[in-house]
Structure 1
Amino acid sequence: MAGELARKGCQVVVIEAGTAGTGEHGRNLDSTPGGTRGFADFLEGALAPLNRAAATPPRLPGLVGIHGVGGMLVGWTHNSPNPDWWELPGWIEHDCWGRLVARASDLLHVGVAISTEDGRYKDFEEIVARRVGALPDGREVQPMPIAAEPLDSGGWRFSAADDLLRGAHENIRLITDHVVRTVVHRRGAATGVLAHPVGGGDPLLINADAVVIAAGTVGSAQLIAASGLEAGPALGAYLTEHTIVASRVLLKANLRRNEESDRFPPSVWIPPSRAHEWSTTINATQWNFNPAIPADAPFDNTIDLLSFCPVEPQESNRLQFDAEREDGFGLPVATGAVELSNSDFDVAGDALRELFLLSSDLGDLVTGWGMRVPARGGSMHLMGSCRMGAVESESSVVSPEGRLWAYENCYVAGNAVLGERNASNPTLTTIAFALHVADAISSPSTSTLVADCKESS
């Protein structure tokens, strides 16, 4: 959002609760296939409970994140599946969604060359396609789109927030180690924000012609509640994420590499569709989801299988805020829960069955088979809480342009607005929507976004 507005000539102030940085992806510390497992160490050091909390919420025990420039975009998987039509909110036209997703893909250098560079790719794809059977046109088994660009020297560079900020730095002022606790507003308009130093001290009053709240699914709703912004009963509600079932297998002898290679293993994708409502990726990751396989098993001789299953958004799946208690950032303590419906369990059960069969097709299960379902909230794909809607209603928080219904110039971006059932990794959808909101803010009918800072006593 900040990068797009700045490229359009707007002056933007970004307030980041974490430390300074470039927004480059941690995978680029060693972007070779051999660096994949080392990336797990990076994540272990970067992921932590949100807002310096002592622990994760009891009903969302897997909920963690990254504070710092780029947030979770410095630690994401780079899988960039193109969402199917039913995964996208219908109050933005499908053709418009297509253009927005294409723009997001271009910014992140999304392509399939890295997925298919290994000579074994077609063998993997054929085995998977045979197991899955016929799928709708365009949603057949195919290479996973991955956000990475080839280097002139060979190898790959993985995309992150620095790609979204490219060409925009001269119009962006970045304020780190500050957390916004209040959006200042009056008479249906936001006038700015109060940003407090994380370590204590006087806040900054930042005046602005428009305010964009993009603090994640938890933080965005938390800040709206803390600021006393009118958002209606849907604030915090309609939480959803992906139930993940995952495993790792030792490949069958004929699918293993015969010699060392600097190419990434194949990455195969089963797209979600009405005929196959979960998204499955077969590739090599930094995590071992199968306790039957030793952690030091040869990397080239294993493959991981992950299925992302949709969860029906329900009003009762929601965040709640305790105004009597503050978290480590001085915001109301957030708790919440995401409970699965019977249909959610049915889809996850179908995905699990398929996962086992694919494991037997690709791997040698003689030594055993195991799988894992991450703790609730642990998909890293928590969505909802500031749900987008077609019209102002008790079931939505923001308009199709991301604007809080009751305010002329206060917007929300990020996963928080995505309160619909979906299975694809939400990164492309989230960035596409951020571009849509940036277009709305910078349109001729909207005031230019200008911000200035000053100390506030």
Structure 2
Amino acid sequence: MKAMAPQSTDVVIIGSGPTGSAYARIIRRDWPEARIVMVEAGPQILPEVGGHLDNVLDLAERAKLEILAQGGDRSPRMSISKEEWEARRAGGFDASLLRRSGLFIANEGDDGEGLFAGFSAANVGGMGTKWSAGTPTPSQAERVPFIPADELEAALRTAEGLLGVHKDPRGPDPVAVAMRERLGQQFNPGRTPDRFVQPMPMAATPGPNGPRWHGTDVILGNLVKEPEDTFRILADTTCRKVIHESGRATGVVLARTGTDETWTLSAGTVVVACDALHTPQLLHASGVRPKALGHYINDHYIVSQIAELDTDAPMQAMSWIPATNELPFSVTIAPASLHTMPKSADLSGQPIGMGVFCPADIDEKNHVAFDDSKLDWHGLPAISIRWTQSEGDRKRLEWAKQTALKVAEIIGRPAPGFATFVQPVGSSLHYQGTVRMGEKDDGTSVCDRNSRVWGFDNLYVAGNGVIPTVTATNPTLYSTALATFGARQIAAARRSL
């Protein structure tokens, strides 16, 4: 293994998800001769490097691949039972959420308010192989206030290009258009046109048989065709430590996943782009422990609602009610498949699923904890989450529930037999804040506006964890945009040598 492994590189990126891939692509654009190594703890599960699992049409085959992508726990999940759906319909806690491939409870809570859902997944492409592909634009209130507005807007447009965003990948859908018009009559007044009710922007390419969903294969582009001496992905490889001295990262300690044999890869720059749970975990294990590391963990809630649309014509497109300063919820509306659910005999129209993404208060005390005495499957300190719901969260959730019911009434009516349901926080898998950026190094952030870790010349972090603001909007476009600042800085520093 040691003879085959690279011994040095210009840039090493730990993690192969969307933001890590964005770093690689922008660095290549601005620094053509850079040697880049990407490290991924999981396997390559698809022929397309970083391809999206939803493009696998054979559902049995897709289920097998999802298990391979679960990280350390690769046991099959049980299907949802009738009793569990009955509990959900009655407004009870839906334990089936824990059976989502790779999802687990990441704290010690034992009730709905205290639960925080964690996620363990590892495969080439990271969450880019499994994500919803939704790429809505954050509202002004959600954006980093200390990055100039024009710079952030330009970065968002760059991110749209990297992800391959299409504004309406399902194309003309008369039923969806009519529904949006009704919703727009209620929600559009007072908004700017970019925040009107609209199709959900998606990272997808339209096709005659439906969209082709984009994973990190689209972000990486031709990088995967390069010789291994200029770009290489080390799959089934874990990073145990970032080596550093006097404010400079010099390399990383790597191991084949599941083994204890390690080797060192020297690097001019290190980018840690695992995710918002595992990036602070690796920094902690490496002795990089700024005060804010792992703290301020945040995620938006999802208030789920099933509505009934009274029409015989099918609707396929996904729609979006954007968050604004006045209404801080991002609402996603899409056809719902109820083939696995018991459903009321009173449900005669088309079922429509709705997720009202509800922001949660940011609190320094909410944090990721690390147990140095217990190692996980990466060989790193085990993760748990300490999180408490705020009074503001509870009030906002009541508002979100009323918004869900209001939207359902505009669509048609709330579907009979299905309660308005609040999923455990964390279920969206949009964790943020654990390596948050800040305007200055005052102990409340981990990195600067370019995602460079405070006190280091060449150590960067990436992913949703860098987002320091309260959000409701799906964050992938946002965090990919923020990643472009760091990637550009890395390339610019090299050019100045």
Asked if Structure 1 and Structure 2 have the same fold, meaning a TM-score greater than 0.5 normalized by the shorter chain, the answer is: yes
Whole-angstrom CA distance in 1 between matches of 2:351 and 2:391 = 33
The match for 1:141 among 172, 197, 200 is 197
The match for 1:184 among 201, 218, 243 is 243
Whole-angstrom CA distance in 2 between matches of 1:376 and 1:288 = 26
Whole-angstrom CA distance in 1 between matches of 2:357 and 2:391 = 17
Residue 15 of structure 1 deviates from its aligned partner by 0.7
- Determine if contact 2:71/2:122 at 8 Å carries over to the other structure: no
- Determine if contact 1:4/1:168 at 8 Å carries over to the other structure: no
- Determine if contact 2:71/2:123 at 8 Å carries over to the other structure: no
The match for 1:66 among 102, 121, 146 is 121
SS in 1 for 2:217: helix
The match for 1:102 among 136, 157, 171 is 157
Counterpart code for 2:237: H
Instruction: Give 1:34-433 correspondences, 5 Å limit.
Output: 41=63, 45=67, 48=70, 56-58=105-107, 59=109, 60-132=115-187, 134-137=189-192, 138-151=194-207, 155-169=210-224, 170=226, 171-229=230-288, 231-252=289-310, 255-257=311-313, 265-284=316-335, 292=343, 301-365=350-414, 367-433=416-482
Whole-angstrom CA distance in 2 between matches of 1:184 and 1:293 = 59
- Determine if contact 1:25/1:75 at 8 Å carries over to the other structure: yes
- Determine if contact 2:42/2:69 at 8 Å carries over to the other structure: no
In structure 2, do the counterparts of structure 1 residues 100 and 54 end up closer, same or farther at CA, with 3 Å as the change threshold? closer
Whole-angstrom CA distance in 2 between matches of 1:168 and 1:180 = 22
- Determine if contact 1:290/1:369 at 8 Å carries over to the other structure: no
In structure 2, do the counterparts of structure 1 residues 38 and 147 end up closer, same or farther at CA, with 3 Å as the change threshold? farther
Residue 351 of structure 1 deviates from its aligned partner by 1.5
Deviations 1:256-279 (A, max 9, x none): 317xxxxx6132211001011010
Whole-angstrom CA distance in 1 between matches of 2:271 and 2:336 = 34
Whole-angstrom CA distance in 1 between matches of 2:397 and 2:478 = 22
SS in 2 for 1:136: coil
In structure 2, do the counterparts of structure 1 residues 350 and 61 end up closer, same or farther at CA, with 3 Å as the change threshold? closer
Residue 350 of structure 1 deviates from its aligned partner by 1.2
- Determine if contact 1:290/1:372 at 8 Å carries over to the other structure: no
Residue 434 of structure 1 deviates from its aligned partner by 1.3
In structure 2, do the counterparts of structure 1 residues 293 and 5 end up closer, same or farther at CA, with 3 Å as the change threshold? farther
Deviations 1:12-55 (A, max 9, x none): 1111000024111011113xxxx8x8899578636747788996
Residue 377 of structure 1 deviates from its aligned partner by 1.9
- Determine if contact 1:414/1:431 at 8 Å carries over to the other structure: yes
Counterpart code for 2:117: G
Counterpart code for 2:135: S
For normalisation by structure 1, the TM-score amounts to 0.87
SS in 2 for 1:344: helix
Instruction: Please say if 1:15 is aligned against 2:39.
Output: yes
Whole-angstrom CA distance in 1 between matches of 2:241 and 2:55 = 36
- Determine if contact 2:41/2:122 at 8 Å carries over to the other structure: yes
Counterpart code for 1:2: A
Whole-angstrom CA distance in 2 between matches of 1:287 and 1:39 = 21
Whole-angstrom CA distance in 1 between matches of 2:262 and 2:66 = 32
Counterpart code for 2:25: G
Residue 114 of structure 1 deviates from its aligned partner by 2.3
Residue 408 of structure 1 deviates from its aligned partner by 0.6
Counterpart code for 1:17: A
Residue 183 of structure 1 deviates from its aligned partner by 0.3
Residue 379 of structure 1 deviates from its aligned partner by 1.4
Instruction: Please say if 1:5 is aligned against 2:20.
Output: no
For normalisation by structure 2, the TM-score amounts to 0.80
Deviations 1:400-434 (A, max 9, x none): 11111111101001111112101110000111111
Residue 140 of structure 1 deviates from its aligned partner by 1.9
Residue 110 of structure 1 deviates from its aligned partner by 1.3
In structure 2, do the counterparts of structure 1 residues 344 and 361 end up closer, same or farther at CA, with 3 Å as the change threshold? same
Deviations 1:183-219 (A, max 9, x none): 0111110000001111214212111000000110111
Deviations 1:287-326 (A, max 9, x none): 88986469xx99x922111111111211011111111111
Q: Which is worse superposed, 106-115 or 358-367?
A: 358-367
Whole-angstrom CA distance in 2 between matches of 1:51 and 1:182 = 22
SS in 1 for 2:280: helix
SS in 1 for 2:169: helix
Number of the residue aligned with 2:4: none
In structure 2, do the counterparts of structure 1 residues 26 and 293 end up closer, same or farther at CA, with 3 Å as the change threshold? farther
- Determine if contact 2:303/2:357 at 8 Å carries over to the other structure: yes
Whole-angstrom CA distance in 2 between matches of 1:289 and 1:418 = 36
Whole-angstrom CA distance in 2 between matches of 1:69 and 1:395 = 32
Instruction: Give 1:430-441 correspondences, 5 Å limit.
Output: 430-441=479-490
Whole-angstrom CA distance in 1 between matches of 2:175 and 2:405 = 21
Counterpart code for 1:397: V
Deviations 1:346-366 (A, max 9, x none): 222111111112223323557
